[in-house]
Amino acid sequence: MTTDRRRINAPSGGTSAPVFVRTVKEVGYLQSLRPTRTRGPNEPRKIFLQTSIIPSASGSAYLEIPSSSNSSTTTLIPSSSSLKITASIQGPRPLPRSAPFSPTLLLTTTVKFAPFASRTRRGYIRDSVERDLGVHLETALRGVIIGERWPKSGVEVVVTVLEGDEDAWWGDGVQGGGGGGWGVLNVLAGCITVASAAIADAGIDCVDVVSGGVAALVRNPDIKNKSEGALVKVLDPCPAEHQDIVAACAVGYLASRDEITEIWMKGDVGSSPDELIEGATHAAVGSLTVLKEVLLEAVEAQVKGQVLEDEKVEQQQDIEMVD
C-alpha cells in the first residue's frame, strides 16, 4: 500500500480546537470580565483615518476606532470590539443613455457588513439594518455634495464595515440579556466620517466636510434610584462599557455652517432631547478635527509629489537641450 506523502488529508469529521478557560458559571467571574469606561464622559476614543487606500477607486478612506478598554488576560474572548470601516467612491460618471435626464448628481450609497464583522456571522445579502444605514448615510451626504455641477451623472458610495461596534457586552448575551441596537449608531457615525473623507479624496465639490458623532444617556450604576438625575451624558459611548444605556443619538454635523444633515435617535430621550443632540455635535467636532488634519496631510503630499514630478520633467528637458 502506497501513501501520498505530499498531501495531508483533513479529518473526516469536524473538529474544534480546545480552549482552556475558566467556566463562566462561577459566581462573580463573568461580571469580573465586564469592561469599564476609563475615559471621561466628554472624552472620545482615538481615531485612525487614512485616505487613498484603494487605487482603482476615485476616492477612498479607511477609519478605525480601537477599543478603549484594557483587554482581559484571563480569557481569550476580547472584552469589547473596535470599529473598522472602509469607503470607496465610484464616479462621478455619466448615466446610461436610457436613463432620464437629471439636472443634479445622482447619489447612491451602499453599506454592507462583512460576514466576520460581528460575533454572530452575518449573511451575504443585505438585511434591514444595512439598508437603514444606507438610507441614513445618503441623507447625511446629500446635503453636502454640490450636485448641480454634475448634471446627468451619478456617483456611488460603497461602505464596508470590517468590524462593527457591538450592541452590548458579550457576557450579557451569555446571561440571557441582549443589546438594544446601540452599536448601529456608532457604525453610522463612522460611516459618515469615512465617507466624507473618501468624497474629499475623490475631489467632489462639497459645501463642507461632514463628520459623525454619537452621544448617549447612561444610567449611573452606583445610583440605585432610577430617576432622571441618575442619568449621565457621555460622548462616543462604547455599548460594551455601559450596562444600562437609556438613549443615544447620532448626527451628521457641518461645523462651518452649524447645520445637522442627519440625526438618528433611539431610546427614551425624555423631555429635553436638545442636550443629547448637543453632545452628539460635540463628538462630531472631535471627529472633524482628525478629518481636517488627514485631508490637509493628503493635500500636502499630493502637492509635494506634483512638485517633484515637475522638477523631473524640467531636468529631462534640460538634458535634451544640452544633447
Question: Which residue has better confidence, 165 or 265?
Answer: 265
pTM score of the predicted model: 0.83
| Orientation angle between helical segments 128-142 and 183-202, nearest 10 degrees | 50
In the β-sheet with 106-113, what is the strand arrangement from edge to edge?
48-51, 59-65, 83-94, 153-163, 106-113
Q: How many CB atoms lie within 10 A of CB 57?
A: 20
The amino acid at residue 204 is I
CATH fold of 34-307: Ribosomal Protein S5; domain 2 (3.30.230)
Say whether the peptide bond before residue 92 is cis (omega within 30 degrees of 0).
yes
The 10s digit of each residue's pLDDT in 227-239 is: 545 788 889 888 8
The 10s digit of each residue's pLDDT in 101-146 is: 888 899 999 999 998 888 788 888 888 889 999 999 999 999 899 9
Q: Which residues pair with 161 in a beta bridge?
A: 85, 113
Q: How far apart (Å, rounded) are the C-alpha atoms in residues 281 and 233?
A: 13
Q: How far apart (Å, rounded) are the C-alpha atoms in residues 201 and 253?
A: 19
pLDDT at 217 over 80: yes
Q: Spell out the domain ranges in the chain.
A: 34-307
